[in-house]
Amino acid sequence: MGDERLLDSPFIMLDTAHNSSFAKRFYSFLKENDYKGLLFLDDIYLNEPIRAFWKSITKPKEDVTNLGHWSGFGLVEFTE
């Protein structure tokens, strides 16, 4: 699914198609491969599929929309 070189990055910014299917697959790829780092997600409030995806995230996360724009920014910690 993903390029395994991503797993060595301490920080990943994901700004992708806004239907949530790729974001879900990418998040699962990181979890399944024991990624250690931070995932920054753009547009977490843009539409219902993306809002539902954001709500479904089980890793520690922080809504940092106040640092960005109206459609939302989220930071997910893959440290556990």
Residue 1 has pLDDT above 60, yes or no: no
Dihedral Cα 59, 8, 24, 52, nearest 10 deg: 40
- For the residues 21-47, what does the mean pLDDT come to? 95
For range 16-44, the mean pLDDT: 93
Query: Alpha carbon of 66 to those of 12, 63, 74: distances in Å?
Result: 19, 8, 10
pLDDT for res 17:
81
The predicted model gives 21-32 an average pLDDT of 94
Please say if the pLDDT value at position 31 is more than 90: yes
Look over the chain and give the mean of its residue pLDDT values, rounded to a whole number.
92
pLDDT surpassing 80 at residue 3: no
